[in-house]
Structure 1
């Protein structure tokens, strides 16, 4: 029997199998929740889902690119979801 591999975190020791099982479950859950998302959403919808200040800050910091269409500004939903899930340091510029 091969030795059990563990991963050391600051607060606990977790087996590799447990870590991978939890990680894959999270990935599947995120994929299912994002499956119904449209590719692009309007600025108004982005403001209502993610908050106007967040969207404007991400745009100002160059983290998202608005797509301008005649009479409409849109954002890629995948980019917004990624920023939503990323821990950000708001004190650094």
Structure 2
């Protein structure tokens, strides 16, 4: 029987199998929740979902770039979701 591989985290030790099972469950949940998202959303929709200050800050810092069409500003929903899930340090800009 091969040795059990374990991963040491700051607060506990888990087996590789447990880690991968938890990771795949989280990924499946994220993929399922994002499946219904449109590819692009209007600026108004982005503001209502993520908050105007967040979207404007991400845009100002270059983390997200809008797509501009005549009379319309749109954002890539996948980029906005990624920023939403990323822990950000707003003091070190």
TM bracket (short chain) = over 0.9
Residue 73 of structure 1 pairs with residue 73 of structure 2: yes
**Distance (whole Å) between structure 1 residues aligned to residue 91 and residue 28 of structure 2:** 33
CA RMSD of aligned residues (A): 0.5
**Aligned equivalent of 1:18:** 18
- Residue deviations 1:10-64, cap 9 Å, x none? 0000110000000001111110100000000000000000000000000000000
Aligned residues: 93
Shift of residue 3, structure 1, vs aligned partner: 0.6
Runs of 5+ consecutive residues of structure 2 not aligned to the other structure: none
Runs of 4+ in 1 over 6 A off after TM superposition: none
Structure 1 match to 2:3: 3
